[in-house]
Every structure is written in C-alpha cells, then in structure tokens.
Structure 1
Amino acid sequence: MTIWSLPAVIFRTIFLNLFVWIPLSAAGFLLLFLLGMAAAALAPFLSHNDLQNWIHCYLAPGHHVAFEILAQIVMGLVVLSAYFALLLLIFSSIIPPESTDTGGSKVWRVVLTSALVPMVLFVTWISVIMITTLNTSEGALSTFITWLPWPLVVGLVFIVGFQIFGNIAFNEQYRARRLSEIYGGKLLVAVIGLSLLAAIPYVYQLLVWITGDQNEPRAKSAIGVLSVVSSVATGIYGHLTRNTESSSLTKYVASLGAALFLYSIAIIAYLLAIAVMPHDTPSEMLDAFRNDQPQALILVWIGLAVGFAFTTNINYLGLYRFYRDRLMEAFMPSPDSIKLWEARYSEADRYSIAELWPQKEADASKSREHPYPIFNTNAIMVNDPDPKLFERGGDNFIFSPLYVGSASTGWQRTPGYIGSRNPVTLPTAMAASGAAINSNAAYIGEGVTRESLVSIAMMLMNLRLGWWFARPNTKPRRPNHVNPGFWAGVMGFGYTSKSNFVELSDGGNFDNLGLYELVRRRLKIILIIDGEEDEASAMPALVSVSQRVRDDFGVILHLDRRVDDLMPAPVPGFPLDVPFAKSAYFTARIEYPDKEDGCGLLIYLKARMIGDLDFIVRGYRAKNSNFPNEPTLNQFFEPEQFEAYRTLGFVAMSRLIGDLKLNGGLIGSGSLLAACGLQPPQMPVQPPSTGHPQAGPGAAP
C-alpha cells in the first residue's frame, strides 16, 4: 500500500461505474429517439405546426424530432403555469386574501364576477381568432390555443359558484395558493429538467462553435475533461466539507460542480446515441452490423452495460470493499499478518456477527469474556413521509449478534436475517458503521452531501462507502445499478422506512457517540469516549444526541454546567498559548421517564489537552496546532502522531479510573452509583424475542 493506492482505487471505481452508466444513458437517448418517432406518427400535429417549424428552422436541433417535441412540451408547461397564475389573479381580485366579510359583500362579489367573466372570455376569444387566422397550418399551436378558453370557462364557473356559497371561497382561495406553491416548485423542476434535456443538441453545437473545430474532436475532448474534473472535484469537495457547517455558498458550489458533471455525462451519452442512430431511421443500427462499422461496437457496449446493470452487485463496485478490507487488516489481522508484518487474508472476512453471542437463552446467561457488540449505522430515509425521519435524514440502524434493524424499518433476529442470504460479517458491520462518505447522508444529518445533485453525482460514480441491505423481514434481493442504483439513487424514489432496500452509512450521520442505543436500553452506567474532530469545542454530537434521546425516549441528560471543565483555556507554560482543559471527562445524571427504570449515570470522556500530559505529547502539540482534533481525512499516522494519541488516551483514562475508583471495572461500580445517589443495577434480563424497539432489541443480557 502506498499513497497512490487510494487514488488508483478511486479511478478504478469511477471507471467501472461510468462504464455502465454512460452506455445506459445512451440507451435512454435511443429510446427517446424511438418514442419521438412514435409520437410524431401517432399525433402528426406535433411535427407539423408553426411552432415546430420555427424550432426546426431557427434553432436547428438536429435530425431527431424528439427534441422538437420536448421543446413544445416545455413551452406548453410554461403556458399552463402562466394560465393557472391568471386564474389565481382573477380569484384574488374578486376576494382579497385578507378579507373576512362573507355576508354583506356577497352581492357585490357576484356582480363583479359576472362582469369579469364575459370580459375575460371576450378578450380570450378575440386572441384565439387573431392567432388562428395567422396560423393556417392547423397544427399543435393553433389546436392548443383553440382549446385554451375552455379551462378558463370552467375556472370562472367555479369562481362564480364560490361567490354564491360565501366563506367557501376563502377556503378555496387558500387551497389554490397552496397548490400553486407546492406543485409550482415541482413544475419548475420539470420545466428546467426537460429544457436542459431538449437543449443538449444546441449545447453541443455551441461547444463545437467555441472550439472552432468543425470536425468536433476538440469539442468532445472538452466535454470529457469537464466531466472528469467536475466529478473528481465534487467527490473531494463533498468529503472535505462533510463535517463542517455548510453555508449556502458551499452548497451552491458543490451543486454546480455536480450539475456540470451530470450534464457532461448526458452530452457524452447523446454523442454515443447519435453515432449509432444519426437520423430518425432505426435501420441505421442494423446497418452498423451489416457493414462492420465502428458504431457496432457502441451497440455491443450498450448491450453489455444493460446486462451488467441488472446482474452486478453495486456494493462490490464502490469504495466500500477497499475501506472494509483495510479495516479488517488493521483491526482483525491474521496470525500470519502479525508475524510477517504484512497484510494478508484474515479469517474474520467470513466471521458472522451472529457467532459473537450465544443464540440460545440457556447459554446466554453464562459468563462471557467479551462485551456485547452493537454496530450503529444510519439508515438513509430522506424521502420518508415521517417528518422526523425526513428532517434527520435517517434512523439509527443496528447490527448486533441477536437483532438487526431499527425502530422505523422493524427488527429481525440476526440468524434469520443472515439465513435469508443477507451475509453480515464482522468486517462488513464495522465498515458500514464507519461509512462516513455517502450520498444523501451527512454528519448528524447536516451537510453538503445531502444536496440532491451532489448525491446523484456520487451515486453515479459510486464514490460512497455506504452499503445497500435488504430491509429486515423482506425477501432477499441483490442491489444492482437499476434497483436501487437508478431507481433510488438517481430518480430519488425509495429511501423510506418501507423501501425494499435500505442504504446504510456512518452511524455518525445519526449519532456520532453511540449513546442513542444505550439510552434505549435504559442502562444504569454509560461510558462514552468522544474522539471526534471538534476544534471549536462545540460538542455537536453530544448536543444532537441529547435532543434526540429526549424527543424519542423522553430521557433527559442533565448536562447543564457539567461540560464546563472540558472547555480549554490558555495557561502559562509549554507549549506557549496552548489551551488546556481542567479535566478530560465529566459525569452527568440520566433521567429515565419510567419510575421502574430510575436514573442512570453518564461518564463522558473527550480528547483534551490536560495538565497530566508529558513533555513529548506537549511537544507534538506545539508543532501541530489542531492536535488532538485533527481531521479524519488524515488516514496515515506517523509513529510520533500515533504515540501522541495513545499517550493522550492512556493518561485521560487513567485519571478517570482513579478519580471514580473504577479499578474493579464498571461491573463492580455499585459504590459509584451509590455515591451519585443512584440504585445499583439489578440482574440483567434477556431481551424478548419479539424485538419491540422499546424493549431493547439486540440488548445485551
């Protein structure tokens, strides 16, 4: 492994995924050409009217009628939106939105409406007569304008009816405003999307004109370079800003880069499509094979891409496997790896998490030499109808030896989930829990990677560490480029608690401390070790999870004034002007809502510069101003850096154990609870097999 290994993997990932997506997009353009031909054949007025002739003559869209029809659809949508705005204007002029009188002015409103109706109809019909007289082709434009008055008549009839029924009009006016606000935004997105699609031939011609190369190779090269640069820039920018507060400018810059990438990919796909089918003549594709033309290779490429799109597991073509294998080699090495000091295959690669704990209740009561592991991830749910899940961007999803799932998706026993061909190994669960770079997800639910365009670009390149899993208690499915790749990742469908696939990302996108699931289990003592990047000492992870456990479980963490000793302040001595904290930990009371649960104790340890640290650690801090809050982008620790963090953790934990008298461990900490006015923990209870979320599914016995 060298510093160039990661760039090589990123390049391989982008290449493998664009190898599928670009020809798939080209197939989409070919389908668009065929649909345009079918529409022109079934509805001749779409391709024989003054508007179409004007588009064809003055805009010169090329040799495909599909783009001319798209342009007409865009213009029609614009006219309809303006038409609805006109109805809303008439409605508002008759009844002012702030009006509250529904009785005395009813007669006046009816008279005013009756006067406006013939006036509007007269002006509309005069306009229709004038335009249809000039337009003799009887095509789409004249047909559309001829039909135009009838929706207006229906709208005005409804308005007159509302005047007669008094205050119903006020309700309907509000509903009309809400409809225009809600669906107006969706209509605007549709108009922009269709306009950009219809403009692709013109944009390519513009690039040819700018490069001054009529043979087109320089224009094609410019598009390719733009695609590569924007894709890499979007991925890097999204990673660098994932843990930072995203300003509006940050989001706009990232979205613009993603938009350039997506549009350049569309233009490249368009070039492939017109190379195979330059005119609205499907036989040209067959001629490519008959005459052994190079275009036949493009058709073969498209066929291979369609096959790969439905059969390839999209999880295996991303950065996830690279990330998972490195974690396995570092934290679960084989004996040969340790002996030879080199990365080798580890048996942990096939070690199921269900094997980490006895599955039978009789065996579960026996003493064990290791703790019960809970792997926290974030199930992305950016489209869920539940406002809470939508705003948070997901729900806490766990993998444990006994249970898999979340409160929103439901729970399933781990052996049953794995038995239905959903393998969950120890390295897989650990890597999913730390999948920090992912589309539609960000640190504690806020960040630039939640922007739609950025997420689509990351999904197409598969520059993500997340993992697609089948939702618990559903039949096994293999995630591929079509579903959920295109269906959810690109089109935006899915990403709900009822979707067949669940995309899992870093648990820190929901709770970066692991406190949420421990509070759910009503534990008496919770020890949290916080090593996140927090140079501003804002403690965002603790603030976020404190609010979420209060909202979801009614649990209150009494943190007021408890965190003050963790706040660093400058002190005299070496290193100069470096802030130190009085302590690296604090304790706080956990107040559970149920009387039978009583209260608990939170012990919170954070990476802090404290006075007990030796000269070597202080010297490292003197040379590195962001220690111990260095960014996670730095994945290659030097020996000096590693030793500084190791010593920091050892000194801080030794002080915590000594102050709280935990030499016997947390199990024997009844005296600690008593000193805090809390009751010692009772004998643990095995979780019920129903997996009810409030009962603590997956909780350790």
Structure 2
Amino acid sequence: MKKEQQEKSFTMSGEKRSKVYEEEAAYLRNRRSVAGTHTTDRSGIAFSGGGIRSACFSLGILNWLERSGMWKEFDYVSSVSGGGYAVASVLEREFDGEGSGKTRAEMVVDKLRHDDGYLRSKSATLFLLVISASISGLLTFSPIMLLCGQSASLMINIYPRTVDNWASGIFCAASAVISLSTWRMPGMVGKLTLFIAVFFGSIQVAWVTGYLPPNLRVGMGILLILSWLIVLGLLGLGLSHPLIKRIQRASFLGLMANIVLTFAIVLHLVIDGTGKTHTNDVLACLYIVSLGLIFLALLASPNRLNPFLVTYYKSLQTAFGNGRDDAIWRNRAQQGDPIHLINCFVQSPRTREEPVRSRGGENFCISRFFCGSQSLDYFRTATWSSGREKKPVWRHQTIWRLITTSGAAVDVHPTRQSPIVNGLPTMFNIGLCSWVINPSFKRKHRKGGPVFVLNFAAAVGGNSIKQKWIRLSDGGHFENLGLYELVARQCMDIIVVDAGCDPEYRFSDLALAMEKCRDDFGAEIDIPGLFPQRSPGRCHQSKFEGYIRYRGVDKPAKLTYLKLVVTEHHSMRMRLQSSIDPKFPHEPTRNQFSTKAFVDAYYQLGCETAALAFPVTGTVKRAA
C-alpha cells in the first residue's frame, strides 16, 4: 500500500544530513591529503552578507589566508550574499601560473579596479524595469481579473432578475451553508468553500447595488471606502503576533470582496454612461482581455521578465566571474580547496511545520554535492534539473545564478514585513528572488517552467516548500553570517567574517545566528568579552574568540569572530578613511555602485584585519 502511494506521489524522499556529511567526508579526506593537513576534525570559515562592501572586505581576508597558507586548513567555506561574490570568484580561478606572485583574490580585485565597480545604472534598464513591472502586475493580477471578467454578467442589471441572477443567489446561499460546516476542516477543502462563499456573496451584493437608488449607492460607496481602509490597515500591520497573523490571513478574503465590489461599481458606472446597448461589447472585451492575460500568466516566466534580476546577474558574472558560468555540480575545485556552501532562503509561509512557518521559511544550502533543506531533505545537485528528461535544464543552478539568488537582499520576507509590503513588490515582480524547481519532485514531473501565477500565490502568502516551484531569496533573510551550516556539521574550528552593516555595533546578525543554532542543533555559542557597544560607532577590537558547545560532544569547538571595524591597530590610512568617506566602514548595503577608491579601501581593511587577527612568523610574500 505504501509503495503504491509512493508511486502515485509527485515527490520522492531525499537524504538526511548524516548521509550528506558521510559523502562529504570522503572528499575531505582526499582534500586534506592534497593540502597536507592531517587533522580529522572538521573546520570551516563563513563569509557574511553585505553586498559589495562585504565582497571587497572578504577578498582582503581571502588574500591574507592564501598568502599565509591558512586557506588550505579549511574543509568548508560558507557564504551569504556579498561574501559569496568573493568566495565564488576566488574558487572559480586557477592558481597563477605566470609567476606574477598574485593570489586569486588579488586577480579578482585587479579586475574590479579596472571595471571601477561592478553594478551599472543604465536609463534603458530603468525604462525596462518600469515596463516589465507594469506587465508583471497585469499578469500576476490576472486570476482576479479572470474571476471578475467571468462573473461580470452576474454583477450588473442588464436583464433585471434573470434566471442566472437567481441561480447565483441560490448558489451563494448553498456555498455559505457548506462553508459554515467545513471551514474547520484541515487542508484546502475548508479554505476553498469559504473562498467560494465570499466570492459569490460579493457578487450578490454587487448585483443588488445595481438596483439601489442613487443616494443609497453613495452610502454603499462610503461603506466600501471604510472597508478598504480597514482591510489595508490590517494588512499593513507588521506585527508578528499569532492573533494578528490569523486576522491578516482572513483579511485577504475581505480584500478579494472589496476588489469584486469596486469592480462592480466601476462596471455599473461604465454601463450607465455608455448605455445598455453597449454592455455586451464591454463584457465581451472584458472576457477576452481577462482570458488572454491568464493565458499569458500561465506561459510567461517571472524569472526572465525581471530586468533588475537579469542586470544583477550579468553584472556579477562580468565583474567577478572568469568568463564562464557552469552548473555548480560540474565545477571542479582546485586541489586542496574547501567545499563551498552557498546559503539561500527558501520562502514557505504556508506550511504547518514549526519553526519553518514562524520564520517564513528555512535555510536552503547548495554545494556541488547536495542541495536542499532540513524539512525538504537533501538531493544530489547533479540531479537538480528541470525541463524534459532527455534535455535537462541547469540554468537555475549555475554558479553565478546561485550567487545572485543568495544575494537577493532586494526582496520580500514573509514574516518580517507586513502583507502589503510583501505583496506589492511580488505582484509587480520587483525583487531579486528566483523560482527554482523543487529538487524533491520526481524527474518526470519537472517539465515546464515557473509562471506568473506563482507570483500571485506568493503575494497572498500561499507559496510553500512543498510546491513544484519554490521561491529562493537572500540567505541573509534566514541567517546573514553563514554560520548555521558550519554548526550543523559540527565543525571544531570556525572563523566567522562579519561584514554586515552595523555602525552601532549591536551584533544583531550574530545574535540571530546564535538563536537559530541553539534552537535547531542545541549548540551553545559563547564569546566572552563581546557586548553591544553603548557608544554608537565605537568598537575597540576586530577579533573576538569564543567557543561552541555541541549537543553530545564533550570537547568545545573553537570560534573566531572577525568584525568589520577600524581600530587603533589599523594603519593611518584606514583610521583616516572616514574623513574622506564619512560612512566608512559601514557603507549601507543599498549602495552597490562602488568605485575604485571604495574597492581599495574595503579590500585593504580586510587585508589588515586578517593580518592583525592571524599574524604569521617570518615574512609573507607580497605581490609586486
């Protein structure tokens, strides 16, 4: 019986974390042999998010690690957002064979200096963004337009008291009775009957509005405006209290009723102005437009109709890449390089599992061996393709598309923002998230591509990790340091490079990471001597040392935490840089239009911070 159910299911079971770590261990043994390290304990380094600021600072850290020989000691390198720019660009390059003495990090920085940054602002791109946002809004809104278009004849009084109107009233009453008896049922049955009852109830109110005298119509308009204010006010609340969340989910039905009633009133005004002889033409046009839009919404891809996302991807690939963009599972690391863990956030507000539901999703980790998450299971990255089985598509898992998605900070978060703030950008397809195929779906069910109807579901909080297409965004929406996956693997020596924007030195990213590691893995992290700074803008050390106590492990793991800060031990150039750039070293992440001076300053700060944190005996050879 269970076998038959599994055959009928669209999904398949994946591997658990323990199996993933076993297979990674085989690679790590070979890596350690090549690198000349003899330890059996896992070690890792994490590079935080922070856009181009984090990328340049991380390149400075990587340069020192390469020159000092420390790079070969790490088994894992975990990255989020801007930290991933730096890590991916270094891992993609081969060691310098021309004798220039440059590290791979220096090669990347030279290219950034030559390009004077990486992101370009073009008027043509902004124009395309406006056009695509308008088209995306129509396509995403098309399901509601189709419902209104199909029910238009039931909303107006072109033929007074027709059989269709009476039938609609009877169906409305019947659906209300069914809804009252099924609304507590689990799954989609109760929600579907409630939706039908509210929808046909709105149609009946709209039909009655057509028979009201002018003064009562004005009263109906005032009530509708008040209803709009109440619904939008509830959906605009950013509170995370469970009661507020339940009220907001119910408010979506009120939003739909308001849309139907507003549409009906506008339709009545149009018909009253043009005369009933033109009503059939109006309804025919409405029917054709709504049907055409829903047809396009079922064909068009929101990933491709997003010039912001395309520009961001091409800018990263051009500036940080090395002229190619292969699928990550095809990437062959240089001898001795660690396993790169790319952290994204899979959004899943519509799930019953806790704490995924309260967090709005969970961490989605991709390496060249496995991809997946805790509740989804893990699957071999080499099998994570979409399209037909004979012609697999790997576009979504090329290295720079994954790095783009991991850095998609310009996107919504299901639980940290109000439903309106989440819904509007999603409705107009403004953001850097990507729809990717769910790796748990069986290969024969992966045909086709993402469509705009998915955006509609996401706009009302209806997307889930169990769907065929899942929504990935910035890994910082879950945890911005990249520490989570290293703790999951119980690494015994961890370095965290925190280049987040924290001018007041509150260490909020570290606090959130500690909370998630404690809740999910039972790992207790402690860094003696680290406190939020009472004086904004002043932090007197860049290196903190602490430890991690894993559940069931007697020996504590070593934790080294590097903070983006300028101290009295840095060079005069770094100490005076804020006189030239008042926001240094915490340029807001929203500013991604870097210059040569910007790249040099943060890169140099990274080099000096690493040199102060990890001094080496003897001399370190510098590039000419």
Q: TM-score, normalised by structure 1?
A: 0.55
Offset, 1:518: 0.9
Q: How many residues align?
A: 463
1:546 to 479, 492, 514: 514
Tell whether 2:576 aligns with 1:607.
no
Match of 1:315 in 2: 303
The structure with the larger Rg is: 1
> Secondary structure of the residue that 2:298 maps to in structure 1?
helix
Change in Cα spacing, 1:303 to 1:36, as seen in structure 2 (3 Å) is closer
- 1:399 corresponds to which letter in structure 2? I
> Secondary structure of the residue that 1:502 maps to in structure 2?
strand
CA distance in 1, matches of 2:510, 2:363: 15
Do the aligned partners of 2:349 and 2:461 also contact (CA within 8 Å) in 1? Answer: no
Tell whether 2:323 aligns with 1:354.
no
Match of 2:497 in 1: 529
CA distance in 2, matches of 1:246, 1:493: 17
Higher relative contact order (CA 8 A, sep 6+): 2
The runs of 5 or more residues in structure 2 that have no matched partner are: 1-119, 185-189, 219-224, 226-232
CA distance in 2, matches of 1:262, 1:639: 51
Offset, 1:461: 0.3
CA distance in 2, matches of 1:3, 1:259: 40
1:633 to 576, 590, 599: 590
Do the aligned partners of 1:398 and 1:404 also contact (CA within 8 Å) in 2? Answer: yes
Offset, 1:194: 6.9
> Secondary structure of the residue that 2:405 maps to in structure 1?
helix
Within-5 A mapping of 1:129-144:
none
1:381 to 321, 325, 348: 348
Offset, 1:516: 0.4
Change in Cα spacing, 1:17 to 1:662, as seen in structure 2 (3 Å) is farther
Match of 1:15 in 2: 134
Do the aligned partners of 1:40 and 1:46 also contact (CA within 8 Å) in 2? Answer: no
1:31 to 150, 157, 168: 150
> Secondary structure of the residue that 2:151 maps to in structure 1?
helix
Q: TM-score, normalised by structure 2?
A: 0.61
Change in Cα spacing, 1:514 to 1:300, as seen in structure 2 (3 Å) is same
Do the aligned partners of 1:422 and 1:476 also contact (CA within 8 Å) in 2? Answer: no
The runs of 5 or more residues in structure 1 that have no matched partner are: 49-68, 85-150, 152-175, 177-182, 210-222, 224-233, 289-294, 335-346, 359-366, 571-578, 666-701
Offset, 1:589: 1.2
Note the alpha carbon deviations across 1:144-166, whole angstroms, 9 max, x for none: xxxxxxx9xxxxxxxxxxxxxxx
Do the aligned partners of 1:612 and 1:651 also contact (CA within 8 Å) in 2? Answer: no
- 1:543 corresponds to which letter in structure 2? A
CA distance in 1, matches of 2:284, 2:203: 28
Do the aligned partners of 1:398 and 1:405 also contact (CA within 8 Å) in 2? Answer: yes
- 1:554 corresponds to which letter in structure 2? G
Which structure shows the higher helix fraction? 1
State, as a whole percentage, how many aligned pairs show the same letter.
21
Do the aligned partners of 2:136 and 2:452 also contact (CA within 8 Å) in 1? Answer: no
Offset, 1:375: 0.8
Offset, 1:9: 4.1
> Secondary structure of the residue that 1:311 maps to in structure 2?
coil
Do the aligned partners of 1:276 and 1:298 also contact (CA within 8 Å) in 2? Answer: no
Match of 1:455 in 2: 422
Match of 2:290 in 1: 302
Change in Cα spacing, 1:29 to 1:296, as seen in structure 2 (3 Å) is closer
CA distance in 2, matches of 1:2, 1:43: 54
> Secondary structure of the residue that 2:585 maps to in structure 1?
coil
CA distance in 1, matches of 2:374, 2:358: 16
CA distance in 1, matches of 2:581, 2:205: 53
Do the aligned partners of 2:505 and 2:539 also contact (CA within 8 Å) in 1? Answer: no
Offset, 1:530: 0.9
Offset, 1:193: 12
Match of 1:584 in 2: 542
1:325 to 284, 290, 314: 314
Within-5 A mapping of 1:22-101:
24-34=143-153, 41=163, 44=166
Change in Cα spacing, 1:310 to 1:276, as seen in structure 2 (3 Å) is farther
Do the aligned partners of 2:433 and 2:472 also contact (CA within 8 Å) in 1? Answer: yes
Tell whether 2:610 aligns with 1:621.
no
Note the alpha carbon deviations across 1:450-474, whole angstroms, 9 max, x for none: x223222222101121111222220
Do the aligned partners of 1:26 and 1:273 also contact (CA within 8 Å) in 2? Answer: no
CA distance in 2, matches of 1:644, 1:322: 25
Change in Cα spacing, 1:267 to 1:36, as seen in structure 2 (3 Å) is closer
Offset, 1:552: 1.1
Within-5 A mapping of 1:503-514:
503-514=471-482
